[in-house]
Each structure stands twice: as C-alpha cells, then as structure tokens.
Amino acid sequence: MSKAAKATQVVTGEGRLFYVHAFEAKENDQGVKKFSAQYLFKKSDKATVDAIAAAINAAKEEFKAKFPGLMLKNGQFPTGFRLPVRDGDEELAQEVKTDPDYKGHYFINASSKNKPGIVDTQGQEILSQAEIYSGMFGRVILNFYPYDAKGNRGIAAGLNGIQKVRDGEPKSGAGSVSDVFGKFESSEPADAPGW
C-alpha cells in the first residue's frame, strides 16, 4: 500500500468496486451530481483496515476542531454521528444486503463532485468507460472528512482516484446477474402455441 499524502487520506489495498459512476456523475436524492463508487474490502486485509481506521480517527479530530459546539459536554460525538464504514456481515444478517459477496467484507460508499483519476496497474490513464464497471477489482484513493449538513453529522469518504487491478464478474444494482437469474428451465409445455 502506498503512503497517503495526509492523515485523512488512504491509498487502499485491492478490493471490489460496486455501484461505479466514475465517468459520468449521477444525481443523488438532493439533486447534486456526484461521481461515486462503493468499495468492498476484506476484513482480513489488516493493512487497509488499519489505514482506514487511522484516517477516520484523523477526520474525527478535524470534526472536533471544525465543529466544537456540536461536541457533547463529556467529549463524546453528537447523537446520530455517522461513520462511513459498514459491515457486510451485519447487513447480510439484517437482510439489508443479499449479495453473498458482502460476506467477510467491510464497505464504504465514496463520492466526489470532481471526476476521480482513473488508471491501470501501470499508472496509465484509462479512457474507456467500458474498462471501469461494477464488479471489477481495484484500489482507491479515499479522503475522509467531517460534515454537518441538515442535521446529519459524521465522517464521509471522498473518492479521489481509482486504479483498476483486474477484471471481475460484472454486477448490476441487484447483485450478480448470474445469481439473480440462475439457471433457466422452460416451464412451457413442448406443444405450447407460439405468439
């Protein structure tokens, strides 16, 4: 893993990218267009887990400095304080997620108003949108930052860059296309009329 430029920035190890919008910004619920991707990383990837934990802790310190009036008297963060890392196993158990690829992984939704840099394993810019897709394996540059917006407070993840490491099974928003469809067997009787 490469050394990040600042305490809140992480250059991750290899993970899986889902819900990738790296070439064209997608409009969110608030009408804001952002580039984004969901980054899944193995719980066993200690280097990435530790680097992300350290960067989030640095962003927490920035929150304290930027929003001192929001901190509780006992030094705790405000009620409902949100962190960007989610647990795939927990979400599978709660049936929030159904795709088995989340098993044994943490994941982060990262976004940016600016298009992230996109490169291959040699550091060469990738210009073909078809090369960057949901389901591929890659590394990302994440920058964690504090926010306080419309009563929502916490730490968010900015998506600064993507490095494609290798191909993976393409994913739709519903998960693996082959998992969703499964094997097809016709239920039509052999003498069914054509339409």
The boundaries of the domain holding residue 51 are 9-169
Q: Taken in order 45, 165, 28, 61, is the CA torsion positive or negative?
A: positive
Q: Which residue has the higher pLDDT, 171 or 144?
A: 144
Determine, yes or no, domain membership for 65. Answer: yes
Residue 178 lies in a domain: no
pLDDT (tens digit, 9 = 90+) per residue, 138-157?
999 999 999 998 889 999 99
Contacts of 181 (CB under 8 A, 6+ apart): none
Domain count, the chain: 1
Please report whether residue 190 resides in a domain: no
Q: Which value, in Å, is the radius of gyration of the alpha carbons in the chain?
A: 20
| Backbone phi, psi, residue 21, to 5° | -130, 75
CA gap 100, 92 in Å, rounded: 8
- 2 within domain boundaries: no
Residue 194 lies in a domain: no
For the chain, the residue count is 195
Give the span between the Cα atoms of 13 and 1, in whole angstroms: 6
136 found inside a domain: yes
The CATH number that applies at residue 60 is 2.40.50.140
Q: Tens digit of pLDDT for each residue in 76-104?
A: 999 999 999 999 999 999 999 999 999 99
Q: Is residue 186 part of a domain?
A: no
Q: How confident is the model at residue 4 (pLDDT cuts 50, 70, 90)?
A: low
Rounded Cα distance between 7 and 156, Å, is 15
Say if 179 falls within a structural domain.
Answer: no
